[in-house]
């Protein structure tokens, strides 16, 4: 039986594995997972009785026709060098490491390669999975992969050159949104006697409702601001402050995140140079 394999069981790898299994798009008997530390994946066997677990990455490579590489960016090329002799020509390799380019992967495995950037929001079957493929990925393999991803998220095709900014919008955004509204709540608490837990519940419920309103009614940011921040009203005063300060703040956010992407890419480039 051809299986779907996963090398690495970190936050995103674990989310994908459990999401695919819970959605029913992947059966446990079709799944093989490797991790350096067996203790971290043993819990999978308790819930998914027929799953195959191992510490042997090469075993996963041999048994998988669809193989997700879910390790940290700087570990991707070392893992590929370890398993390259065990990969079939027909293997479809999927990397979830944004800083590792398709060209980096093709320098070791010149077969079917896709890049996927998932979001933690897929734990609740929401959010976006960013996807791009090399030219060797066949139409049936694209459809097969996107059937998996579509079970837990909405698939959006993005040019590889745009992955970094798009990932800030999707994969990084939950953490950034949480940081923004954590500051918002703390500021409000300095001017009230509302309990912290209550304030957080108010914000989270409002965020959920705002997203639902925009999605179901097809409302854009500008229209929503116009509807809430009426001329001469209270909200307008707050929006003015945000418009004065946030543009430069977010410019700095992207400068920092994109610089970090470039740094990691350079480190991966050096990994290639040292081996060649």
What tens digit of pLDDT does each residue of 226-266 get? 999 999 999 999 999 999 999 999 999 999 999 999 999 99
How many domains are contained in the chain? 2
Q: Could you report the per-residue pLDDT of 164-220, keeping only the tens digit for each?
A: 999 999 999 999 999 999 999 999 999 999 999 999 999 999 999 999 999 999 999
Judge if 243 and 140 occupy the same domain. Answer: no
Q: What is the pLDDT of residue 28?
A: 95
Q: Let me know if residue 164 belongs to a domain.
A: no
Judge if 126 and 26 occupy the same domain. Answer: yes
Judge if 89 and 30 occupy the same domain. Answer: yes
pLDDT at 24 over 90: yes
Q: What is the pLDDT of residue 1?
A: 61
Q: Let me know if residue 255 belongs to a domain.
A: yes
CB atoms within 10 A of CB 39: 7
Judge if 143 and 263 occupy the same domain. Answer: no
Q: What is the pLDDT of residue 276?
A: 61
Q: What is the pLDDT of residue 267?
A: 93
Tell me the mean pLDDT in the region 92-118.
96
Judge if 74 and 187 occupy the same domain. Answer: no
Where is the domain boundary, 159, 187, 222?
A: 159
Q: Let me know if residue 274 belongs to a domain.
A: no
CATH number of the domain that residue 126 is part of:
3.40.50.720
Q: What is the pLDDT of residue 271?
A: 86
Where is the domain boundary, 101, 124, 159?
A: 159
Q: What is the pLDDT of residue 272?
A: 81
Determine what percent of the chain is predicted with pLDDT higher than 90: 93
Q: Let me know if residue 168 belongs to a domain.
A: no
> Where does 34-190 have alpha helices with state H?
42-47, 57-63, 73-83, 102-106, 139-150, 163-169, 173-189
SS3 91: coil
Residue pair 8/36 in contact by the 8 Å Cβ criterion: no
Give the C-alpha distances (Å, rounded to integers) separating 74 from 95, 184, 213, 245. 12, 35, 40, 36
Q: Let me know if residue 83 belongs to a domain.
A: yes
Where is the domain boundary, 94, 124, 159?
A: 159
Judge if 98 and 66 occupy the same domain. Answer: yes
Tell me the mean pLDDT in the region 9-19.
94
Q: Let me know if residue 276 belongs to a domain.
A: no
Judge if 20 and 116 occupy the same domain. Answer: yes
Judge if 229 and 95 occupy the same domain. Answer: no
**Parent domain of 182:** 173-268
Q: Let me know if residue 61 belongs to a domain.
A: yes
Judge if 144 and 97 occupy the same domain. Answer: yes
pLDDT at 274 over 80: no
């Amino acid at each position: 039986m051809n299986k779907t394999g996963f090398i690495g069981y970190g936050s995103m790898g674990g989310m994908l594995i459990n999401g695919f299994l819970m959605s029913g798009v992947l059966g446990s008997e079709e799944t093989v997972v490797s991790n350096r530390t067996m203790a971290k994946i043993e819990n999978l066997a308790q819930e998914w009785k027929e799953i195959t677990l191992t510490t042997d990455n090469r075993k996963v490579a041999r048994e998988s026709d669809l193989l997700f590489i879910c390790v940290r960016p700087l570990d991707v090329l070392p893992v590929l060098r370890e398993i390259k002799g065990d990969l079939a020509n027909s293997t479809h390799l999927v990397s979830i490491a944004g800083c590792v380019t398709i060209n980096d992967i093709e320098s070791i495995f010149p077969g079917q390669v896709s890049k996927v950037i998932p979001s933690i929001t897929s734990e609740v079957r929401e959010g976006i999975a960013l996807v791009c493929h090399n030219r060797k990925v066949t139409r049936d393999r694209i459809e097969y992969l996107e059937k998996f991803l579509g079970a837990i998220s909405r698939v959006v095709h993005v040019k590889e050159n745009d992955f970094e900014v798009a990932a800030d919008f999707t994969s990084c955004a939950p953490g950034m949104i949480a940081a923004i509204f954590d500051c918002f709540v703390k500021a409000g608490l300095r001017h009230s006697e509302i309990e912290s837990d209550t304030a957080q519940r108010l914000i989270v419920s409002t965020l959920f409702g705002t997203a639902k309103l925009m999605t179901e009614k097809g409302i854009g940011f500008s229209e929503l601001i116009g509807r809430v921040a009426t001329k001469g009203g209270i909200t307008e005063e707050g929006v003015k402050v945000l418009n004065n300060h946030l543009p430069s703040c977010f410019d700095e956010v992207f400068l920092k995140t994109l610089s970090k992407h470039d740094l990691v890419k350079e480190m991966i480039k050096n990994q290639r140079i040292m081996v060649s």
